């Protein structure tokens, strides 16, 4: 079964919009696990507009499931990850002012840099995943850099799903197949939801984990967090 990692950034965004500690981000992480999530994802950005670095330190000892920290591997981020020691780090090429992740790595142009970052995290015993567009060339580049996994940037699939799911998923099938050839494990994330998740899972040759935040938290406003997590897990069976 593909694991569901819940990205709790949006809960932190709500907290930060008012100040104080409501909703409590650490409690939300624990509750997600209690309701069945097999992992928790956070994406601290340098401006800390949602998840704060202090949140990351607070959450880690509360979890008995996989902790995945996403972010652009600037020095401050690398230091955080090496201190916290999550199960997985996902490298995302976010600009400092990016609203949300909007592209995967050019693993060819950044080959030397990514190889060195993977070396650092591997020396700490941390599994490394590289965020890539559905391009077999970029997948091979991630493998050459020494990554353990890729995370496929699924925005294009989600955006084009309603117009034709077969065409929307085709590039992802090719990229995923290349990952399998390269010996990489495969994650997926960005705009996956209750409408498009099951089909994506069905078609992919391999899908180890999905990281879902925005859509899941939006659904939870209507369904409640427990029922929403159960619904997403059902899509992954």
Active site residue 43: yes
- Is 122 an annotated catalytic residue? no
In the structure encoding, which two tokens stand for residue 165, read together?
């799911």
Q: Is the peptide bond before 23 cis (omega within 30 degrees of 0)?
A: yes
Catalytic residue among 178, 185, 190, 209: 190
Of 43, 151, 178, 209, the catalytic one is: 43
Catalytic status, residue 70: yes
Of 66, 70, 185, 209, the catalytic one is 70
Which residues, including other chains, have CB under 8 Å from residue 127's CB and lie 6 or more apart?
87, 88, 89, 121, 148, 149
Residues with catalytic function? 43, 70, 190
């Amino acid at each position: 079964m593909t694991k569901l990692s819940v990205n709790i950034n949006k809960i932190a965004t709500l907290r930060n919009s008012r100040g104080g500690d409501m909703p409590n981000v650490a409690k939300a992480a624990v509750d997600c696990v209690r309701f069945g999530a097999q992992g928790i994802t956070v994406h601290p950005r340098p401006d800390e507009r949602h998840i704060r670095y202090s949140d990351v330190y607070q959450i880690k000892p509360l979890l008995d499931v996989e902790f995945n920290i996403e972010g652009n591997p600037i020095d401050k981020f690398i230091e955080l990850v090496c201190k916290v020691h999550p199960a997985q780090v996902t490298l995302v090429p976010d600009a400092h002012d990016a609203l949300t992740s909007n592209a995967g790595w050019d693993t060819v142009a950044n080959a030397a840099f990514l190889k060195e970052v993977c070396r650092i995290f591997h020396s700490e015993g941390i599994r490394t995943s590289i965020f890539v567009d559905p391009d077999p060339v970029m997948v091979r580049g991630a493998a050459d850099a020494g990554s353990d996994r890729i995370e496929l940037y699924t925005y294009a699939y989600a955006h084009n799903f309603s117009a034709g799911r077969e065409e929307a998923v085709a590039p992802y099938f090719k990229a995923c197949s290349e990952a399998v050839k390269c010996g990489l494990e495969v994650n997926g994330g960005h705009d996956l939801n209750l409408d498009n998740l099951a089909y994506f899972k069905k078609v992919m040759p391999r899908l180890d984990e999905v990281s879902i935040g925005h859509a899941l938290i939006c659904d939870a406003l209507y369904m409640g967090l427990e029922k929403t997590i159960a619904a997403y897990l059902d899509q992954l069976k």
